Amino acid sequence: MKQKINWGILSTGHIADLFAKAVLESKTGILGAVASRSPSKAESFARRHKIPMAYGSYKKLLHDPFVDVLYIATPHAFHAEWALQAARAGKHILCEKPLTLHYPAARRVIQTAKSHKVFFMEAFMYRCHPQTAKLVELIRQKTIGELKLIQASFCFDRPVDLKGRLFNRALGGGAIWDVGCYPVSLARLLAGAALGKPFAEPLEVKGLGVVGAQSGVDEFALASLKFPNGILAELSCANRVRRPVGVSLFGSKGWIHVPSPWHADRFNASAAKIQIYREGARPKEITLRSRQSLYSLEVDAVGSALQKGLKESPFMTWKDSLGNAQVLDAWMRAVGL
């Protein structure tokens, strides 16, 4: 693998725009090409980010010989289709979360990446930030004693737009797939840290949700997970309910609060904060600083893995993605979807 990783971006929506900026900020990546189903959108995106090649077809991007890795930023419903085609074309892949809409499709994508010997990573960008690594370290060190309860939320409120991806079932709409996947992934990560493992799978998954009368997708949902050693998780997600975003971890000797777990540098471009409360001690705040933006850290996580010849990333392994997909399936079934 050459020193700089040449990226192709598949789709031109908001998240693709953020990602293109992150590649320009990164240490390992350069922008090589972009594709949209609309030639004019591809050309406009390319001009905005100074990308040398613009394609009005996703398939043309797959066959660009100069592109090393593809960032798949389509609506959720199309992740599996283009991840499979990218793997068969021999392209390395960073695919936006959720990997797919169902566990069998996720398994098929990863099996295809493995058989074609390409790198694959599900794009949970928060996993690449030092804040997440510090949380794992604090739990492993039993800073708050034995972990008992994980509370995690990712909620926001948007007007119903039946054509937009958030509320259109054909595009993979709904809160669980869009943002519920974050609390699930972090709960599994931290329960694993408490058990001395990279991640843990729940013994039980129970869920409730409200399905929109117009949209037909879950607009607010809750999940309860039970892990080994009696660790419980309370998770919430919404696209129609405003609720404070955050993570709180309760242990036998104190608790931890993370105000911004998913976008660690949202409130301060260079800092993330972890608040620690222990019995008999003054509250402590840990400030973590990064010279890079959140998404550029993700770009370099992929770049580093490719330069080392890895096919999966330690930040989000294939087994981790498959475990997440199984829990999301269980949550969706519990909601009735």
Compute the distance between CA of residue 59 and CA of residue 61 in angstroms, rounded to an integer: 5
Could you tell me which residues come within 8 angstroms of residue 144 by beta carbon, excluding any fewer than 6 positions away?
138, 249, 250, 251, 252, 253, 254, 255, 256, 276, 278
**Is 206 in the active site?**
no
Judged by DSSP in three states, 13 sits in coil
> Which runs of E-coded beta strand occur in the chain?
5-10, 29-35, 53-55, 69-72, 92-96, 120-123, 147-155, 204-211, 218-227, 231-238, 246-251, 254-258, 271-278, 284-289
Angle (deg, nearest 10), helices 14-25 and 294-307: 60
Compute the distance between CA of residue 22 and CA of residue 44 in angstroms, rounded to an integer: 18
Sheet containing 231-238: order of strands: 204-211, 218-227, 231-238, 147-155, 246-251, 254-258, 271-278, 284-289
Q: Which of 2, 27, 50, 97 is catalytic?
A: 97
| CA nearest to 135, candidates 200, 186, 181, 195 | 186
Could you tell me which residues come within 8 angstroms of residue 139 by beta carbon, excluding any fewer than 6 positions away?
147, 190, 193, 194, 249
Compute the distance between CA of residue 323 and CA of residue 77 in angstroms, rounded to an integer: 19
Q: Please give the positions annotated as active site.
A: 97
